[in-house]
Amino acid sequence: MATAAHPLPQLPLWPQHRPAHAPVAPHYDYCLLPYEPQTTTPDDLLSVNLLRWSWEAHGVLAEGEALLKRLREGLGANQVVWGIKQRDGQPDATSWELYFYRRPHNPPDFTLARVTELFKPLHVEGAIPAHWAWLMFSIELDVYQLRGARACTSSVYLASSGLSYKLRTDAPPELENHYLFRDPLAGIDDILARLRVSVHARPHPLALARLLPPQLMRCLHLCVANKRQADAVYWSRVDVHQLEFFLQRHAWPEPLRAKLHAHLPQFAHLQWDLGADFQSTPADVDGPGFTFTKSGIYGSY
């Protein structure tokens, strides 16, 4: 009998189903805003396959897929934004987050409470009072949370404010992040103004070039976020080559990069969203004075 070419069975990938002769449906970015896919091929793949590969690598594929299934059945298609976050330099330190936006294509009665129901048997902490003007909420997941060993934490993002808060069951909400989104061309002055006052970077000729690498300037929006222990830059709607560049730049686990690379043309119709946290390293007195601590990639399902 012939031996298998691959010692482990390969994960069957989820295709981007397209009904023949129908116009191509919009795809959604990490703000859950629609875009037209660039080019399409018959064997295009869904972006969520990256999330599945990441779950598979951490032994939580079944748990993750079961959760996606409950969300899809309960909310419908294109309601979930997913993120994979990787601690720089620590291939095993991976976590995930799911984001839910208030959008015109939401099902009726779209609330954190409803999503919390769909998460069961996983337990989600936090609630959003009805009078808050929220734009979105998110639920964090790590291996233990996906396995139900620990409650999942949630955050809320307020409309038109750029502010996000961690939600607590027995305590008041805690300010988490402040985001500023700008067009990378017309809005560059605001982005620079925000980065210049970052307490996590020092004035240095290479500081901006590290924070805003030229390879990623072709994006829909740049975003600067001020967080509790770091600042961050986000890039929205980059192409699959920029995604590869980013994963290499932040030394993401080789198996995931290799799988992405093997299927590159099948992911080329998608636009991707990226983010990287940076934190000051006071000891770096000659350099830009920061290191990247965490990076994330985002898609929707």
Minimal distance, residue 245 CB to other proteins, in Å: 11
Amino acid in position 147: R
Please choose, out of 115-123, 141-149, 185-193, 262-270, the segment that lies near other proteins by the rule CB under 8 A: 185-193
Q: Applying CB under 8 A, which of residues 51, 60, 67, 135 lies at the interface with other proteins?
A: 135
Provide the phi-psi class of 73: left if phi over 0, else alpha when psi is between -120 and 50, else beta: alpha
Place of tokens 């770096």: 284
> Is 212 a residue that touches other proteins (CB under 8 A)?
yes
Instruction: Tell me the C-alpha distance between 300 and 224, whole Å.
Output: 21
Binding of residue 197 to other proteins (CB under 8 A): no
The distance of closest approach from Cβ of residue 103 to other proteins in the complex, given in angstroms and rounded to an integer, is 8
Helix residue ranges, H only, 179-239: 188-196, 207-211
Would you say the C-alpha torsion 19, 25, 29, 35 has a positive or negative sign?
positive
C-alpha to C-alpha distance for 228 and 139, rounded to whole angstroms: 18
From 75, 173, 176, 181, residue interacting with other proteins (rule: CB under 8 A)? 181
* Widest Cα–Cα separation across the chain: 66
Does 206 participate in binding other proteins (rule CB under 8 A)?
A: yes
Q: Between 74 and 103, how does the x/- string for binding to other proteins read (CB under 8 A)?
A: ----------------------------x-
By CB under 8 A, tell whether 186 contacts other proteins: yes
Pick from 72, 73, 21: nearest CA to 46: 72
Task: Supply the minimum distance, in Å, between the C-beta of residue 88 and other proteins.
Answer: 18
Residue identified by tokens 């959760």 is 67
Q: Looking at beta carbons only, is 185 or 285 nearer to other proteins?
A: 185
Single residue of 7, 12, 42, 104 touching other proteins by CB under 8 A: 104
Scanning 11-19, 33-41, 47-55, 109-117 for contacts with other proteins by CB under 8 A, the matching segment is 33-41
- The label of the residue with tokens 């970015």 reads 29
Amino acid at 218: R
157, β-bridge pairs = 136, 164
Residue 272 in tokens: 């991707």
Q: Should residue 214 be labelled a site residue for other proteins when binding is judged by CB under 8 A?
A: yes
What separation in angstroms does the CA of 271 have from each of 35, 102, 110, 236, 274?
8, 21, 26, 8, 10
Residue choice 11, 15, 24, 36 for contact with other proteins (CB under 8 A): 36
Provide the minimum distance between the beta carbon of 205 and other proteins in the complex, in angstroms, as a whole number.
4
Q: Smaller CB distance to other proteins: residue 161 or 248? A: 161
Give contact residues for other proteins (rule: CB under 8 A).
31, 33-36, 102, 104, 133-135, 159-162, 181-189, 192, 204-209, 212-215, 217, 220-221
